[in-house]
């Protein structure tokens, strides 16, 4: 097994929102962020995506994180920050937005 070099690691990112992206080949995909969801169909994301807001304004990461990428066949996963935390925060923002909508 080859040793991993320190230079091979992606640079840490700060000042952007955490994200969890799933792409299924040429079918399309989605990118989940705590405050919004991007959805697109087809292989090309730019120009084909729709943004679904989940509530409040985006908040940037203050602690630098490394982007991660995993591929398995046609499935591609990209994350910035802990994906479970991203999903949980998106759920909280969605629940709050739904509660506000139901009480108004």
- Number of structural domains, the chain? 1
For residue 42, being part of any structural domain is answered with: yes
Nearest Cα residue to 56 out of 32, 35, 86, 38: 35
Write down the pLDDT at residue 97. 85
**Alpha helices, DSSP H only, in 1-104?**
83-103
**Exposure string for 42-61, b = 16+ CB within 10 A, e = fewer:** eeebeeebeeeebbeeeeeb
* C-alpha torsion sign, points 44, 45, 47, 49: positive
Domain around 80: 13-103
For residue 45, being part of any structural domain is answered with: yes
Write down the pLDDT at residue 1. 42
**What predicted TM-score, i.e. pTM, was given to this entire model?**
0.79
For residue 75, being part of any structural domain is answered with: yes
Write down the pLDDT at residue 7. 59
Write down the pLDDT at residue 75. 94
For residue 8, being part of any structural domain is answered with: no
| 28-33 sheet: strands from edge to edge | 50-53, 36-41, 28-33, 19-24, 75-80, 67-72
For residue 2, being part of any structural domain is answered with: no
Q: Give per-10-residue mean pLDDT for the chain (104 aa).
A: 59 88 92 92 85 82 89 94 91 88 85
Beta bridge partners of 29: 23, 40
Strands of the chain, DSSP E: 19-24, 28-33, 36-41, 50-53, 67-72, 75-80
Write down the pLDDT at residue 54. 83
Write down the pLDDT at residue 37. 92
Write down the pLDDT at residue 73. 92
Write down the pLDDT at residue 12. 87
């Amino acid at each position: 097994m080859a040793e991993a070099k320190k230079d091979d690691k992606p640079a840490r990112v700060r000042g952007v929102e955490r994200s969890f992206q799933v792409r299924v080949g040429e079918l399309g995909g989605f990118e989940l962020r705590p405050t919004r969801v991007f959805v697109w169909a087809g292989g090309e994301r730019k120009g084909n995506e729709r943004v679904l807001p989940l509530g409040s304004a985006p908040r940037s990461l203050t602690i630098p994180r490394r982007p991660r990428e995993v591929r398995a066949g046609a499935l591609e996963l990209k994350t910035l920050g802990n994906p479970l935390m991203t999903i949980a925060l998106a759920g909280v923002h969605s629940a709050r937005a739904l509660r506000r909508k139901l009480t108004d």
